[in-house]
Amino acid sequence: MNTSGDAGSGSAQGGDCEYIIVGGGTAGCVAAWRLVTETDARVVLLETGADYTSPYLKLSPGYSRLVPKGVHCTLHQTVPQAHAGNRVLEIATGRVLGGGSSVNAQVYMRGYRADYDQWGWSSGSDLWNWETMLPHFRRLEGNQKYSGEFHGCAGPLTVADPGFFCEYSHLFVKAGQTLGLPFTADFNVGAPVGTGYLQFTARGGRLASVFPDSRYSLDKLGQVAGKAACA
């Protein structure tokens, strides 16, 4: 398919492409990256949001300047939640290349093993249970300090400790233990219970988005940002 026209950056544009991916969020970027790196395909990635250029997308404090104001994201509201005092909760989804991985608070949290097993049971497929998903988590992860059964250290997703803990963080963790909560060193082994220090998809004060990782082969990947997705 020919992709000539006003299409932003990337030299796969203005020529033939083999795949068009509609939606340049987290999943779209990963799909484009794998097609480019594993099959040598020529790919165009369409995203209705902005390009990945704002400095706030790359710095750890940037979250507070973007999400509360609805910048580079869409703010959705839930119906009143009966189990949360009938509060209406706000949920942000990314509207920029990289999607949620570009605008979220970067906390790395897989969740409960039992939830994955429940999804597998509900869907009637073992593809969603914890044991099946765990090797994929390990393959994706490039952890700063953990490896072994639950973690990978050579994957493209940067996971690391924060570069700084303030004294209030230590007081909060100790207060939780005083109240009887167990200290948890690793929240990503399938049982995120207790008090402790979280890891983040960031390192050295720089946030990790899937988009910069997926754009390094620009001779094969073109991006169309800031336009309605169409083909």
pLDDT above 70 coverage of the chain, percent: 85
Cα–Cα dist 29/147, whole Å = 25
Write down all domains in the chain, each with its CATH number in brackets. Answer: 1-105+210-231 (no CATH), 107-200 (1.10.1220.110)
Instruction: Encode pLDDT of 122-160 as tens digits.
Output: 999 999 999 999 999 999 899 999 999 999 998 888 899
Q: What is the pLDDT of residue 224?
A: 59
At 31, list the tokens.
């799909």
Question: How far is Cα 38 from Cα 202, in angstroms, rounded to an integer?
Answer: 25
- Residue with more model confidence, 228 or 149: 149
Interhelix angle 113-123/130-140, rounded to 10 degrees, is 120
* pLDDT exceeds cutoff 50 at 217: no
Predicted pLDDT of residue 36: 84
**What's the average model confidence in pLDDT over 79-100?**
93
Give helix then strand counts, H and E, for the chain: 7, 9
Closest by CA to 48, choosing from 8, 16, 5, is: 8
- Residue 9 pLDDT > 50, yes or no? no
Question: Per-residue pLDDT tens for 177-187?
Answer: 999 999 999 99
Of the candidates 101, 139, 110, the one whose C-alpha atom is nearest the C-alpha of residue 24 is 101
> Which band of pLDDT confidence, cut at 50, 70 and 90, is reported for residue 199?
very high
212/73: higher pLDDT: 73
* pLDDT level of residue 4 (50, 70, 90 thresholds): very low
